[in-house]
Structure 1
Amino acid sequence: MDTESIYVIPHSSKPVNEYFNPKLLLGLYPTLFCYGYGSPEDKSRPVEIKLREHIRYLLSYSDRRFETNHSFIFVVFNLLQRRDACFHAQLIATKPYFQASAQEIQSLNSNDIEMALNKSAKTTCSSTSNVSLNKLLNHIKTIGGRVMGSAYSRTALRTRIHALIYNQGLPSIFLTLNPADIHSPVALYFAGAKLDLDNIQIEQLMTTYKRAEIIASHPVAIAKFFHLLITNILDTMIVGGVLGPIKAYFGTVENQGRGSLHLHLLIWLDHDFKPSDLKEKIQNGDFREKLKAYLEDIIKEDLDEFKGKRTFENSDILGVYVTPSRLSRDDIYSALKTIDLSGLEQDTCNFGNIRSTPMKQQSSSSISFATPSPKRYSETTLYAQPNYATNASRNESKIIPACLPTPNPSSPNFASRFRADIVQLVESNNIHKHSDTCYKYWNSNRGDKKTCRMRMPRKLVSNSTIDPATGNICMRRSDPWINNFNEYLIAACRSNMDIKFIWSGSDAKALVYYITDYVTKTNLSFHDTFSLVQKSITSLQNLRNQTNNESAIEKSRKLVLRCYNMLASQQELSGVQVASYLMNWDDHYTTHRFQGLFLIQTERFLQTQLNETRVQQKSEIAAQGEYINL
């Protein structure tokens, strides 16, 4: 009988040290460190390099072997997270407030968690039902809030949003941008595809499946694409005045089902109106008309303006418009075919004369607006782009619009090309289609009416109206299925988007609460959190039965750290999210810097000052009493 030699890799029952162990990654990934050299935290290296910096260097290799490995980024990200958690657990163990509660925390057992779960099932559980358990959860939150990419650090963003609202007032616009990385030539270029971005041929873009395969295997490149696209949109378009003058914005990054990133953005328009001022001004008919015109300028709910059914003839005269013949599908494709042909080189060489998007001027009495007419489209640019070339002989009806470049503002017939491009983008990306997500809160057993939670289809409205009594705004709409969009922003991100105006009526606070709750939502429910904490306590109790030589503070520290690690193990992160954190690209974008207030230290300082003042007063009173006796 033939015997086959088998190479057996031995395993030890003792865990490998993760700290300052250069052999760890060498042993885990011998195919990445081919010669057994170059591992992070190698003490033989003459210049010390931090682990985070070394990881960023490895992920920037030109051969992309570290980026395309299916597990490398997740392993090193988990190492960094555990180090952060361990460091901050050790740090809070030295604080007096932790030491004061250590005895209570380490006395918790699985029965306490079981009682809390039973009470929560009966909806009788409160924050004061178990003081020790509440302290444990607070310490877990304290540690997690300082760990990169944790659910608790995401929750801390809510505090920043509330601080910005307190500082700047209520936000004015809620915007969602979802860039189409699968169809973007720039994303493919970052992923290593051999493309000449100055002269893109449609045949080079490959099939949708092939593009998706490339995008999925290059998370660092896609994170770079998203970061650069969003920062450019924010710097050149949002700050540049596409939606009007702004004074602040705050956006949070999330991943969706397939792992790609999208942005939720709150925008504060640059005006000084308080809710009471707006409530008063809405009674003025002229203000209402200007507000409607402004909203119709920045938010589109149908394609009439771009298909020729409703095109303003004179932007200075509100409500006067003509109705030219509607663009047919053949006309749209004809316009798209002529985008950036080779003969445009003579028209695109002078980029110095291209003007940036003008800022909408602000008036002291109202929110000003500027509705662009077809004649003015050629004077407004999204951003200067190089000359692209497409194959005009190809059947344009088969091309995904997101793959096409944004029309060049300096090209001939830009207005018609831009309108045709917007029509194609909206019809392919921004029309709602029902899915299971629309009905995820619907329960037939309760007798719920099966309605789309996105409120689709929406009611058709012939003319925009604002109710002065309630402040309710109803925008004109001729298509029930189109999501709100802004033509300049959708042309830039080339995918689906949504935009909403936040009015200062009775629903404003509820909407802001929903937004802040949505963008900072966590993956674990209340019951799941308690169940995992119970599991951590049980496993730690089994270890304590073997050795019991540790202090209460050390036992509490280990319990808090184990509970956090157990909760963090259930967090779901996509490869693009992990790559974004490793490359030091933030999970939020904002115009402001925030400084944390350490309330515990502040309270201790004030208490110390108060005690010293009381002692001094008692000394003075005692001294005065002795003087009187003399």
Structure 2
Amino acid sequence: MKAFISALLGYDPEEKTLEGGILGVVKAYYGCVEAQGRGTLHCHMLVWLEGGLNPNEIKKRVLEDPEFGKRLLAFLNDTISVDPDLNLTVPSDDHHPCSVRGMPVDPESFSPQRQKDLRNVVLQCQTHTHSKTCFKYWKRPPEPKTCHLDLHEDNFPGESYVDPETGEIHLRCLDGLVNNFNATMLEAIRNNMDIKFIGSGASAKGILYCITDYIIKSELKTHVAFAMLELAVKKLGEYNPLEDDIMIRALQATST
């Protein structure tokens, strides 16, 4: 996370440098790391940009100044990617794209290799497949069965636009099942991600609720902790042909 903040966001928490990164000049950030039920860690982060406006100011400025709205949409379209159609004629690799740090640096084929690598990571990490959890808030017919993550096959406005009456910003979505991502971030972290611009009062309320929820979140539940310990014991007890029986028994006894 320190490397992410320093290299990608271009921000030094100690020196408060303002060199700028892939999102622009970062004024401040707030992040918290969460452990999922399976024990894996992931971070939720809110980033403030230097010179940024609050949601109410953005709404007013967009409605009063169409040119400002065009520049803002151009910035957002450049920052938030939604296009999985990345050189589809190039075949995928046999290995999992997240198992490597990237592609070999070859000046002659860098661009197509990078495009191929990004495509594979997008298809593996950002493409959504519906599960039962997606519809946990569905109230049954006659209510429409919609994914609570707002990822649907038919959700793909081709162009970004600003609602002239409300000032709400609606970003383009070229594939309704591909979650928003920043290409540079995704290439670096090589894991699923989500990125959202907080440009309205509704979005601000949602993120405030999310941050508050994580601040007061309870510790890891007991049954989840025991499940993790059980998995650790099983992993430690797996057969290794390079070890003799005495070592295996000692390892299992210790872990138990």
Normalised by the length of structure 2, the TM-score is 0.74
Does the 8 A contact of 2:26 with 2:49 survive in 1?
yes
The answer to whether 1:456 aligns with 2:227 is: no
The structure-2 alpha-carbon separation of the partners of 1:494 and 1:509, relative to structure 1 and needing over 3 Å to count, comes to closer
Which of 79, 84, 90 is the equivalent residue of 1:329? 90
The alpha-carbon deviation at position 293 of structure 1 amounts to 0.7
**Match runs of 1:83-482 below 5 Å:** 230-239=1-10, 240-282=20-62, 283-304=64-85, 306-307=86-87, 327-330=88-91, 333=92, 396=93, 398-407=94-103, 411-444=107-140, 449-457=144-152, 459-482=155-178
Letter in 2 for 1:297: D
Higher strand proportion: 2
Does the 8 A contact of 1:422 with 1:491 survive in 2?
yes
The alpha-carbon deviation at position 415 of structure 1 amounts to 1.6
Normalised by the length of structure 1, the TM-score is 0.32
**Match runs of 1:509-588 below 5 Å:** 509-520=204-215, 522-523=217-218, 570=222, 572=224
The structure-2 alpha-carbon separation of the partners of 1:569 and 1:424, relative to structure 1 and needing over 3 Å to count, comes to closer
CA distance in 1, matches of 2:218, 2:144: 27
The alpha-carbon deviation at position 409 of structure 1 amounts to 5.7
Letter in 2 for 1:499: I
Q: Which has the larger radius of gyration?
A: 1
2:239 match: none
SS of match in other structure, 1:286? helix
SS of match in other structure, 1:422? helix
Does the 8 A contact of 1:490 with 1:497 survive in 2?
yes
The structure-2 alpha-carbon separation of the partners of 1:569 and 1:242, relative to structure 1 and needing over 3 Å to count, comes to closer
Letter in 2 for 1:248: A
The alpha-carbon deviation at position 246 of structure 1 amounts to 0.9
The structure-2 alpha-carbon separation of the partners of 1:498 and 1:274, relative to structure 1 and needing over 3 Å to count, comes to closer
SS of match in other structure, 2:124? helix
Does the 8 A contact of 1:523 with 1:572 survive in 2?
no
Larger RCO of the pair (alpha carbons < 8 Å, separation 6+): 1
The alpha-carbon deviation at position 569 of structure 1 amounts to 7.6
The structure-2 alpha-carbon separation of the partners of 1:257 and 1:274, relative to structure 1 and needing over 3 Å to count, comes to closer
Encode CA deviations 1:343-390: one digit per residue, 9 max, x unaligned.
Answer: xxxxxxxxxxxxxxxxxxxxxxxxxxxxxxxxxxxxxxxxxxxxxxxx
Letter in 1 for 2:2: T
Structure 1 spans left out of the alignment, 5+ residues? 1-229, 308-326, 334-395, 525-567, 577-630
The structure-2 alpha-carbon separation of the partners of 1:523 and 1:440, relative to structure 1 and needing over 3 Å to count, comes to farther
**Match runs of 1:495-514 below 5 Å:** 495-503=191-199, 505-514=200-209
Letter in 2 for 1:405: R
The structure-2 alpha-carbon separation of the partners of 1:469 and 1:448, relative to structure 1 and needing over 3 Å to count, comes to closer
2:186 match: 490
Encode CA deviations 1:284-319: one digit per residue, 9 max, x unaligned.
Answer: 121111111100111011224x33xxxxxxxxxxxx
Does the 8 A contact of 2:69 with 2:162 survive in 1?
yes
Encode CA deviations 1:223-247: one digit per residue, 9 max, x unaligned.
Answer: xxxxxxx221111101251111111
Encode CA deviations 1:492-531: one digit per residue, 9 max, x unaligned.
Answer: 111111111100x33144222232134235359xxxxxxx
CA distance in 1, matches of 2:97, 2:25: 30
Does the 8 A contact of 1:264 with 1:519 survive in 2?
no
SS of match in other structure, 2:194? strand
Structure 2 spans left out of the alignment, 5+ residues? 11-19, 230-256
The alpha-carbon deviation at position 489 of structure 1 amounts to 0.6
